[in-house]
Amino acid sequence: MPRLVLPRSLLARNIALLIALVMLSQVCSILVLVHYVQKPRVERTAIVFARYVTTLDSLFEAAPDGARDALIAHLNNGAQPPGPNDIEPSPSLLHFYLVFQRDVFLDTLRANLPADMQVRWQTEGGQRLWINMHAPGKPAWIALPIPEDARGAGLEAAIALSLGLAALAALTGYLIQLHLNRPLRNLAHAARRVSSGDTPPPLPTDGPTEIAEVSSAFNQMMQTLQQAEATRAVMLAGISHDIRTPLTKLRLAMAMAITEHGDDNFVVSAEAYLDQIDTILQQFMDYAGSGERETAQPGDLNALVSRLAADFAGLGHEFALSPGPVPEFAFRPITMMRLLMNLMQNAVVYGREGLAVRTWVQNGTAYVAVCDRGEGLAPQELEALKAPFQRGRNARSQPGGTGLGLAIVERIARLHGGSLQFHAREGGGLEVWVVLPLNASRQPKEPGS
């Protein structure tokens, strides 16, 4: 049994339902009009017309031959009676109500006329009703005009008006639904901004009651999230201060405790552990912050990449640059620098060779690819490392890691309305793509090549 395919959008479903209900109501209205208004009216017309025909038949039968022939010629006006195959048009679905009224009229008329008096409805060459009148010698056919009520006069106009009102009702419903969908679209847009790390302005609550309740609940949720974010920032700042203070004192105490015959190896190891603790703490702070509070401003992405590549070159790690023509667009400079530093540092640690960075623009989207020739994880395995605290098998031997590096990069990319992608590099190695829409309100597209 085939399943009913419904439109996906609420607007399309409501419009389809509205049109179906309007059409159903119109069909019911037409049936009620035809059966309970027009049918009794046509039957009364047929009964009156039958009395008129009966009276005319009596006068026709009693009239002299000359007067009868003159009356026949006057009524027929030169028209010839139709044959049995040229009467009563075939049923028409489009004009069913006219066929229905004709049948009701003819059945009622025949029921109220003598059984031997034939009645024929002619449509070819004009609407006529032929009656086989009684006459001395042989029957005579005369043509009589069809009553307006039997023709359905005015019914077509009523149906056309009804259909026009149905179309007007459907159009009005469509406009009302568009008005109701506008705050829903605003709500969806605000929710996407929240998911990307932005803080949208409060939604208006002056619409319909149901929409206003949803908007109020969303605004209340945003206030709760902002309060939770503020509490988290204060807590992390306190943790950072409370942990780094004793770390600083411990470094100072170790430096003062070094004697001429002290164990320098122990001091060096202890300082290395302190550096690891400080690095881990900074990674937690970076992941918790991720730049939400930094204001986006127009910047040159290629200039930022070149500056970072020069810094890494000073440390002995050369990155081959292939900058494309990327226009200025709005991004958070410090947060973007953190994203690129994390990716380039990962390439240095895990790729080690064939280091390169290239940029390009396609379909209104900027791309930054950090490349290496290492034999690390496959792109499919790296997708799982976007989650916090996930470390790859090639990183477990590296000290000081927390599994937050790619999670920080992913979060910063989403904050800019973009995404993080992994691709196998042609000739071996890995390419990590940062996809950044030039217009943050647009969704990034997959590149065609």
Confidence of residue 238 (pLDDT cuts 50, 70, 90): low
Highest mean pLDDT among 54-68, 270-284, 301-315: 301-315
pLDDT, residue 368, reads: 95
Residue 313 has pLDDT above 60, yes or no: yes
Picking from 291-295, 369-373, 408-412, which range would have the lowest pLDDT averaged per residue?
Answer: 291-295
Compare 157 and 330 and report the one with higher pLDDT: 330
pLDDT, residue 397, reads: 47
DSSP string, 341-398: HHHHHHIIIII-SS-EEEEEEETTEEEEEEEE------HHHHHGGGSTT---TTTTTS
Residue 41 has pLDDT above 50, yes or no: yes
Residues 130, 82 contacting (CB under 8 angstroms): yes
What's the distance, Cα to Cα, between the start and end of the chain in Å? 43
Confidence of residue 446 (pLDDT cuts 50, 70, 90): very low
Q: Backbone dihedral region of 364: left (phi > 0), alpha (psi from -120 to 50 degrees) or beta? A: left
Q: Where in the chain is the domain with CATH 3.30.565.10?
A: 291-437
Confidence of residue 1 (pLDDT cuts 50, 70, 90): very low
Looking at the domain covering 291-437, what would its CATH class be? alpha beta
pLDDT, residue 257, reads: 61
Residue 168 has pLDDT above 90, yes or no: no
Structure tokens at 371: 């490349």
Question: CB-based contacts of 327: which residues, under 8 Å, 6+ apart?
Answer: 361, 438
Question: CB-based contacts of 19: which residues, under 8 Å, 6+ apart?
Answer: 170
Q: What is the mean pLDDT of the chain?
A: 75
pLDDT tens for each residue of 66-84: 777 787 777 777 777 766 6
Compare 241 and 119 and report the one with higher pLDDT: 119
Q: At what angle do helices 264-289 and 405-415 cross, to 10 degrees?
A: 30
Picking from 217-231, 287-301, 376-390, which range would have the lowest pLDDT averaged per residue?
Answer: 376-390
DSSP string, 136-174: SSS-EEEEEPPPHHHHTTTHHHHHHHHHHHHHHHHHHHH
**Burial classification of residue 428, based on how many CB atoms lie within 10 Å of its CB (0-12 exposed, 13-18 middle, 19 or more buried):** exposed
**Burial classification of residue 260, based on how many CB atoms lie within 10 Å of its CB (0-12 exposed, 13-18 middle, 19 or more buried):** exposed
| Separation between Cα atoms, residue 166 and residue 186, nearest integer Å | 31
Highest mean pLDDT among 138-142, 270-274, 275-279: 138-142
Mean pLDDT to the nearest integer, 294-316: 90
| Separation between Cα atoms, residue 190 and residue 203, nearest integer Å | 8
Nearest to 349 by CA among 383, 310, 394, 385: 394
* Percentage of the residues of the chain whose pLDDT score is greater than 70: 68
Report residue 237: phi and psi, to 5°. Answer: -65, -40
Length of the chain: 449
Question: CB-based contacts of 349: which residues, under 8 Å, 6+ apart?
Answer: 398
* 179 sits in which H/E element: helix 155-195
Residues facing residue 141 across a β-bridge: 132
| Separation between Cα atoms, residue 324 and residue 368, nearest integer Å | 10
Compare 284 and 428 and report the one with higher pLDDT: 428
Confidence of residue 301 (pLDDT cuts 50, 70, 90): very high
pLDDT, residue 101, reads: 79
pLDDT, residue 158, reads: 67
| Separation between Cα atoms, residue 407 and residue 289, nearest integer Å | 12
CATH architecture of 196-289: Orthogonal Bundle (1.10)
Confidence of residue 304 (pLDDT cuts 50, 70, 90): very high
Please, what's the largest Cα pairwise distance for the chain? Answer: 158
pLDDT, residue 280, reads: 60
Picking from 193-197, 235-239, 372-376, 435-439, which range would have the lowest pLDDT averaged per residue?
Answer: 235-239
Mean pLDDT to the nearest integer, 276-300: 67
pLDDT, residue 237, reads: 64
Confidence of residue 303 (pLDDT cuts 50, 70, 90): very high
Report residue 447: phi and psi, to 5°. Answer: -70, 150
| Separation between Cα atoms, residue 346 and residue 221, nearest integer Å | 37
**Burial classification of residue 224, based on how many CB atoms lie within 10 Å of its CB (0-12 exposed, 13-18 middle, 19 or more buried):** exposed
pLDDT, residue 436, reads: 93
Mean pLDDT to the nearest integer, 436-449: 55
Residue 31 has pLDDT above 70, yes or no: yes
pLDDT, residue 285, reads: 59
Confidence of residue 309 (pLDDT cuts 50, 70, 90): very high
Residues 329, 442 contacting (CB under 8 angstroms): no
**Stated pTM of the model:** 0.45
Residues 29, 38 contacting (CB under 8 angstroms): no
Residue 85 has pLDDT above 50, yes or no: yes
Residue 115 has pLDDT above 80, yes or no: yes
pLDDT tens for each residue of 332-360: 888 888 889 889 988 888 877 889 999 99
**What one-character DSSP code corresponds to residue 64?**
-
pLDDT, residue 328, reads: 92
Q: Where in the chain is the domain with CATH 3.30.450?
A: 10-158
**How many alpha carbons lie under 13 Å from residue 101 in its C-beta half-sphere?**
25
The alpha carbon torsion through 161, 166, 168, 170 (nearest 10 deg) reads: -170
Q: Where in the chain is the domain with CATH 1.10.287?
A: 196-289
| Separation between Cα atoms, residue 419 and residue 350, nearest integer Å | 22
pLDDT, residue 293, reads: 64
pLDDT, residue 441, reads: 45
- State which amino acid sits at residue 29: S
Domain 10-158 fold is: Beta-Lactamase (3.30.450)
Q: Tell me the CA distances in angstroms from 402 to 32, 176, 207, 276, one per residue in order.
A: 76, 53, 48, 10
Compare 259 and 182 and report the one with higher pLDDT: 182
Confidence of residue 369 (pLDDT cuts 50, 70, 90): very high
Compare 426 and 270 and report the one with higher pLDDT: 426
Compare 364 and 30 and report the one with higher pLDDT: 364
